[in-house]
Amino acid sequence: MEFVSDSNRKMEILTKPYIILNAAMTADGKIDTITRRGAKISSEADWSRVDELRAAVDAVMVGGKTLLNEDPRLTVKSPELRRKRLEAGKSENPLKVGIVTDARISAKARFLNDGPAEVVIFTTSQASSETLHLLKETGVRVVLAGDELVDLPQAMHQLKTFGVDRLLLEGGGTLNASMFAEELIDEVQVYLAPVIFAGADAPTLADGAGFGVREAVPLALENIKILPNGGVLLTYLAKYKGE
């Protein structure tokens, strides 16, 4: 797929992967409680779906807060699915991608060590040379992309050049909002859990500064699946206004 980045100024056409946002969300739109410790929202059945989704993509990506605070493994859990990937000539696990302003990640982090999996960190000039050196020593591919925040269109383009055709975005709410703002997300899969977390400061599917009505991202409903525990899986396609 191609898209136009910053159409008023650069008219630069960049390629990017097909990007699926997956999240587990409460019925009141929260993706965690106010304590932000990665509350369990998914059901067992939904975990299997997410595992299959991970097994079907080339890369899985998270934002800095999710990465640094929760240290997710982002690997495919099912041995069967990993075996099928290997049989298909793919790596056992998809590439792990982190979007981190200051990449202060411990060398012992599960994100870096659980696998086997290749790791790419997109970071900014705020990361110290010592941090960058340590990451490179652990075999991580580090890409400097921006000063204040990671330049997401450039990062997605770079991933495409690394051979990533399908990318799974697994949050959190700030990165999701930035990815919507840049019109980078193609598909949204949301597991809607039958529970309310409440809390004005609890993270939601897309946080950030928020869009006005004119900038709101329209979605087209593709599928609804009701799960045995009363949860609902919603699948949408993003229909950006310029498309």
Ligand X SMILES: NC(=O)c1ccc[n+]([C@@H]2O[C@H](COP(=O)([O-])OP(=O)(O)OC[C@H]3O[C@@H](n4cnc5c(N)ncnc54)[C@H](OP(=O)(O)O)[C@@H]3O)[C@@H](O)[C@H]2O)c1
Residues that bind ligand X (CB under 6 A): 23-24, 31-32, 36, 38, 41, 62-66, 68, 70, 99-102, 149-150, 152, 170-175, 178, 203, 207
Question: Which is nearer to ligand X, 86 or 194 (by Cβ)?
Answer: 194
Least distance in angstroms from the C-beta of 218 to ligand X: 21
Least distance in angstroms from the C-beta of 178 to ligand X: 3
175 three-state secondary structure: helix
Q: What distance separates the 2 farthest-apart alpha carbons in the chain?
A: 50
Contact 17, 166 (CB under 8 A): yes
Question: Which is nearer to ligand X, 186 or 207 (by Cβ)?
Answer: 207
Token digits of residue 199: 């809390």
Pairing of strands 187-193, 232-238: antiparallel
Question: Which is nearer to ligand X, 138 or 154 (by Cβ)?
Answer: 154
Least distance in angstroms from the C-beta of 223 to ligand X: 18
Name the amino acid, one letter, at 154: Q
Least distance in angstroms from the C-beta of 98 to ligand X: 8
Question: Which is nearer to ligand X, 35 or 86 (by Cβ)?
Answer: 35
Rounded Cα distance, 94 and 138, in Å: 18
Least distance in angstroms from the C-beta of 104 to ligand X: 9
Token digits of residue 114: 């659980």
By beta carbon distance, the residue nearest ligand X is 172
Strand ranges, E, within 108-165: 119-123, 141-144
Rounded Cα distance, 237 and 233, in Å: 14
Question: Which is nearer to ligand X, 70 or 92 (by Cβ)?
Answer: 70
201 three-state secondary structure: coil
